[in-house]
Amino acid sequence: MRTRQAISLCRGPVAPALWLIAGLLVAAPEATAQLTPTDRIVARLDSGWRPASRTFAGTRVFTAHQEQGQFAADYELKDGGVVDGGVSYLLWRNLGIGLDVSHFRTIHEARISSEVPHPFFFDLPRTTTGRAGGLERQELGLHIRALWVTQFADWLVVSVSAGPSIISAKQDLVTAVQHTEVGFPFSDIVFSDHTVRAQSKTTTGLNGGVDIDSFFLHRLPFLRNFAVMRHIGVGLLARYVRGVVMLQIDGQPIEVDLGGLQITSGVRFRF
**Binding to other proteins by residue 181, rule CB under 8 A?**
yes
Q: How far is the CB of 66 from other proteins (least distance, A)?
A: 4
Distance CA 127, CA 28 (A): 63
Task: Figure out which of the listed residues 81, 119, 163, 164 binds other proteins, where binding follows CB under 8 A.
Answer: 119
Give the residue, chosen from 62, 152, 186, 269, that forms a contact with other proteins under the rule CB under 8 A: 186
Asked whether the CA dihedral 178, 175, 82, 258 is positive or negative, the reply is negative
CB atoms near residue 83 (< 10 Å): 15
Distance, in Å, from the CA atom of 11 to the CA atom of 6, rounded to the nearest integer, reads: 9
Question: Binding string, 218-257, against other proteins, x = CB under 8 A?
Answer: ----------------------------------------
Q: Between 4 and 123, name the residue whose CB sits nearer to other proteins.
A: 123
Please choose, from the candidates 268, 231, 265, the residue with its C-alpha nearest in 3D space to the C-alpha of residue 16: 265
Does position 120 interact with other proteins (CB under 8 A)? The reply is yes
Q: Work out which of 29, 183, 221, 251 binds other proteins, going by CB under 8 A.
A: 183
Is 190 one of the binding residues for other proteins (CB under 8 A)?
no
Question: Quick check: 124 binds other proteins (CB under 8 A)?
Answer: yes
Q: Contacting other proteins (CB under 8 A), which of 185, 222, 225, 271?
A: 185
Q: Is 184 in the site for other proteins (CB under 8 A)?
A: yes
DSSP string, 43-59: EEEEEEEE----EEEEE
Rounded to whole angstroms, the Cα distance separating 173 from 136 reads 9
Smallest separation (angstroms) from other proteins to the CB of 68: 13
Q: How far is the CB of 77 from other proteins (least distance, A)?
A: 36
Within 10 angstroms of residue 147's Cβ, the number of other Cβ atoms is 23
- What is the distance between the alpha carbons of residues 101 and 45, in angstroms, rounded to a whole number? 10
Nearer to other proteins, 9 or 190 (CB): 190
Q: Does 115 bind other proteins (CB under 8 A)?
A: no
- Interacting residues with other proteins between 79 and 108 (CB under 8 A): none
Candidate residues 4, 123, 222, 227; the one interacting with other proteins per rule CB under 8 A: 123
Task: Give the nearest distance from C-beta 64 to other proteins in angstroms.
Answer: 8
Whole-angstrom distance, CA of residue 157 vs CA of residue 68: 61
SS3 26: helix
Query: What is the phi/psi pair of residue 102, to 5°?
Result: -130, 155
The residue among 153 and 177 lying less far from other proteins, judged by its C-beta, is 177
DSSP helix, strand, coil percent of the chain (3-state; round to 5) = 15, 65, 20
234 bridge partner residues:
214, 267
Positions touching other proteins (CB under 8 A) are: 65-67, 118-124, 181, 183-186
